Structure 1
Amino acid sequence: MDLDTTPTPSARSQEFEAYSRRVEFSGSGKEFFSIWIVNIVLTLLTLGIYSAWAKVRTYRYFYGHTQLDGHRFDYLASPIQILKGRILAFILFVIYMFCTQFVPILGVLAVFGLLFLMPWMVNQGMRFNMRMSRYRNVRFAFKGNYGDAFLNFIVLPIVSVFTLYLLLPYVLKRIDKYLHSEISYADKPITVNTKGGEYYLAVILAYVACAIVGVIVMTIAGVFGLSLQTMMLDPEGFEQSLTAISAVALIILFVVGYTAIFAVYMGVYQTHVRNHLLNSSEIEGIASFKSDLRIVDYTLLTLTNALAVLCTLGLAIPWAKVRTAKMLCRATEITFLCDPQTLTDAQGEQNSSFAEEAADFFDVDLSLG
C-alpha cells in the first residue's frame, strides 16, 4: 500500500528557514517628473478636483516601483474615494472658517471641537491608508483606538509645553510607537520596543550637527557682511549697484544657511530615529526589520534635496522624492520568519477616506517614514 509522503502544513512551517531581502525602488526622477508636472497642471486647471487623481497616481507610482522579494506593493484606493473624502472635508473646513470669522463664540467651540476630533481623524486616516496598502495580496490594517490617540496626540504634547519641551522627545517616541504598533499584517501586529533614551540622543546629535553648520554659516555670513560694510563706507571705490547686489546676495546666503541648518537637523534626527524604530520592530511570527541608514549619507541627501528644491523653486521636488525613496529602500532589510506564500488576507471593513482628507485640510496629516 502506498503511503502519502506529502508534508503537513505544520511540517512545512517547521522546515522553513528564515531569509533576508533588501527593499528595492526602481523609479526614476525623470519618469516621476512627468507624472508630477501633469498632476500640478491638471489640479490647477480643475480648481483642485484632479488632486484626488493626482494623489492616487503618485501613491501607485511609488508603491508599484517598490519591490520586496520579487513582489511589488499595491495602493488600492480609487480617485473617487479620495474625492468624496475631500468634498466632505472641504464642507467641514468651510463651516470651521465661517465659525471662526463671523461667530467668534462658535469659533472657539470649533477649535476645541477640532482638538477632540483630531485623534479620530488620525485613526481613521491611518486605517484607510493601511487598508489601501497591499503586499502579496495581503492588506495591512490599523487598529488604534481613540483613547490612546487622544493621550498621545493631545494630552502629552500639551504637557510637554509646561516642561519647556523637555518631554517632547519622549512624546515623539510615544507617537511613533503608537502609530507603528497598531499596524498589523495578515492579522499579526507589529511589536515595537523603542526606548525614550534613543530619541533624546537623536535630538542631541541633531542639535550638535546644527550648531556646527550654524557656526560655518554665520562665519561665512560674517565675513561677507564685513566686506559689504567696508564697501559701503567707500562708495567711490565701489559702485552703488554692486553694493545692492551684494546686499541681496547676503540675504540669499542667510536663506540658504537657514535651509541647510533645518535640513541637517532633520537628516540627523530622522536617520537615528528610523534606524532605532525599525531595528526595534517585528511582525510577530512573520518578519523582522533592519535599517542601516547612515547619518552622513542621509543628512547629505536631505541637505542637497532641500537646496535643489530651493534653487529650482520647487521643480526638483520629483527628483528629491525619488532619491529619498531609493536611499531608504536600499537601507531597509526584511527578514522573513515564515513562508510569505502561506499568509492570507484578514478581511476587514472598508474605511472612508473622509477623516484622512479632513486631516489634510487641518494640517494634521500623518505619514509613516
Structure 2
Amino acid sequence: MENSVSNDAASAENKPQRASKVVFSGQGGEFFGIWIVNLLLSIVTLGIYSAWATVRTRQYFYGHTQIEKQPFRYLASPMQILKGRIIAIVIFALFFAISYLSPVMAVVLAILFMFVSPWLVVQSLKFNLRMTSYRNVRFAFHGDYLGAFKYFILLPILSVFTLYLALPWALKKIDHYICSNTSFGGKKMQVTTDTSSYYIAALVAAAIVFGVMTVVAIIGVVLGILMAVTDSGNASAAALMTSVAVFVAYFFAFTLSGAIYHCMIRNHLFERTELPGIAKFKSKMEVLPFLMLTLTNLVAIVLTLGLAYPWAKVRKARYLASVTSLIIYPQIDTLVDEQQSENSAFGEEAAGLFDVDVSIA
C-alpha cells in the first residue's frame, strides 16, 4: 500500500501544473424553488426547519461550484445545526429573562459573551470547514481560542483607541489568522499579505466617501442659500428632493467605497495565498462590474419585496466564481482524506450557535 502511494506521488511530480477556473452552474429559477420551500417550511415549523434549509442551501451552492468538473460537497446534517440553534434559543431566553430581572447581570452576561464569542468563531470554522470537501478530501481549521480572542476581540478594541488608524492592520491580521490556519488534505495555507495593501485599500475607500460627502455638502449649502433667497413656494418640495438626493449620493458613495475595498483586498489576499504543492489562487475582481452587481441586486430585492433574493444570491456566486482561477499542482491527484474528528459532540452542536459563519468570499 505504501509503495502504491509513493508511486502515485512520484508519478504526480512528473505531471505539469495546470490552470483551472472556478465554475458555478446554479440557476436563479432553480434555487428560487429551494428557497421558497425553505422559507415557507421554516415559517410553518416556527423556525425548526431552518436547520434543514441551511443544509439544503449550502449543499446547492457547494454542489454547483466546481473546479475541473469536480464539485464541492457540504457534509453536515440538519440535526447538528438544529441542536446548536436550540441551545441558542435557550441561552437567548435566559439572557433576556436575567436582563429583565437585573440590568447589572445583563452587563455581566454581555461581558461574558465577549469572552465566549471567540470560542464560537473557532468552533464554527472547525465545523464548517470539516463539513466541506473537494475530491472526497476535507478541509480543516487549526486555530485556537487564544488566537481568536487576540484577533477578533483585542485587535478591534485596540483600533478604537487608535481612532481606527490600526483597523486595516487588524483586518489584515484577522484574514491571515483564518487563512493560515485553514488546511486541505493536511496542507496548511501559506499567506504572505502586505499590511500596506490593506491601508491603501482603506485610504482609497475613505477618500471616495470623503470626496462625495464634501461635494454633497457644498451643493447642499448652495441650494439652501438659493432657496432662502428666492423664497419659492416650492421650497418644501425642493428640500425633500434635496434630502433624497443627498441620501442617494451617500448610499452610492458607501457602496462604491465598499466595492473598491472588497475588490482590492480579495485580489491581494488570493494572490498571496497558496496551498503548498496543491494549488495557487488568483482573483480578478473589477470595481465597476462588482458595483453594478451589488446595486442591481439590491434594487431587484427591494422592488420585489425580497422575492429576487435567490436570483441575486446566484448572480453573486456566479460572478465570484467567474473571477476566480487556480494553478493546480499535480500532487492534488494523490491526496487522501486522513482527517480525524477532533471536535466533541458539544463542539459540533455549538458550531451552529447563533449561526456563526466566518468566511472570505
Taking structure 2 as the reference length, what is the TM-score of the superposition? 0.88
- What displacement does 1:284 show? 1.6
- What displacement does 1:224 show? 8.4
Instruction: Please state if 1:40 is matched with 2:39.
Output: yes
Gaps of 5+ in 2: 1-5
Instruction: Please state if 1:279 is matched with 2:274.
Output: no
SS in 2 for 1:166: coil
Per-residue CA deviations over 1:240-276 (Å, capped at 9, x if unaligned) read xxx8877766555444444322321221111000001
Instruction: Please state if 1:64 is matched with 2:63.
Output: yes
1: CA distance, partners of 2:210 / 2:276 = 41
Aligned to 2:203: 204
2: CA distance, partners of 1:126 / 1:245 = 52
2: CA distance, partners of 1:311 / 1:228 = 33
Instruction: Please state if 1:290 is matched with 2:285.
Output: no
Of 340, 344, 350 in structure 2, the residue corresponding to residue 355 of structure 1 is 350
Instruction: Please state if 1:299 is matched with 2:291.
Output: yes
- Structure 1 residues 165-314: aligned runs within 5 Å: 165-214=164-213, 233-234=232-233, 252-314=244-306
**Given that residues 260 and 307 in structure 1 are in contact (C-alpha distance below 8 angstroms), is that contact kept between their aligned partners in structure 2?**
no
**Residues 76 and 316 (structure 1 numbering): CA distance in 2 closer, same or farther, change over 3 Å?**
same
User: Mean Cα displacement is larger for which, 292-301 or 223-232?
Assistant: 223-232
SS in 1 for 2:12: helix
**Residues 245 and 28 (structure 1 numbering): CA distance in 2 closer, same or farther, change over 3 Å?**
farther
- Structure 1 residues 36-115: aligned runs within 5 Å: 36-115=35-114
Q: Match of 2:141, as an amino acid?
A: F
1: CA distance, partners of 2:214 / 2:309 = 28
**Given that residues 12 and 333 in structure 2 are in contact (C-alpha distance below 8 angstroms), is that contact kept between their aligned partners in structure 1?**
no
Aligned to 2:3: none
**Given that residues 118 and 359 in structure 1 are in contact (C-alpha distance below 8 angstroms), is that contact kept between their aligned partners in structure 2?**
no
Q: Match of 1:155, as an amino acid?
A: L
SS in 1 for 2:48: coil
1: CA distance, partners of 2:198 / 2:163 = 17
- What displacement does 1:190 show? 0.5
**Given that residues 24 and 326 in structure 1 are in contact (C-alpha distance below 8 angstroms), is that contact kept between their aligned partners in structure 2?**
yes
Instruction: Please state if 1:323 is matched with 2:318.
Output: no
Q: Match of 2:21, as an amino acid?
A: R
**Given that residues 277 and 331 in structure 2 are in contact (C-alpha distance below 8 angstroms), is that contact kept between their aligned partners in structure 1?**
no
Aligned to 1:3: none
SS in 1 for 2:351: helix
Q: Match of 2:252, as an amino acid?
A: A
Of 301, 326, 341 in structure 2, the residue corresponding to residue 334 of structure 1 is 326
Query: How much is the aligned-residue C-alpha RMSD, in angstroms?
Result: 2.6
1: CA distance, partners of 2:192 / 2:19 = 21
2: CA distance, partners of 1:78 / 1:321 = 23
Aligned to 1:135: 134
- What displacement does 1:70 show? 1.0
Gaps of 5+ in 1: 1-6, 236-242
Q: Match of 2:178, as an amino acid?
A: L
- What displacement does 1:20 show? 1.1
User: Mean Cα displacement is larger for which, 333-342 or 176-185?
Assistant: 333-342
Aligned to 1:238: none
Per-residue CA deviations over 1:310-369 (Å, capped at 9, x if unaligned) read 343333322221111111111111111224221101222164443333243xxx642221
2: CA distance, partners of 1:221 / 1:326 = 40
Identity of aligned residues (%): 43
**Residues 227 and 320 (structure 1 numbering): CA distance in 2 closer, same or farther, change over 3 Å?**
farther
- What displacement does 1:305 show? 2.3
**Residues 18 and 59 (structure 1 numbering): CA distance in 2 closer, same or farther, change over 3 Å?**
same
Taking structure 1 as the reference length, what is the TM-score of the superposition? 0.87
- Count of aligned residue pairs for this structure pair: 353
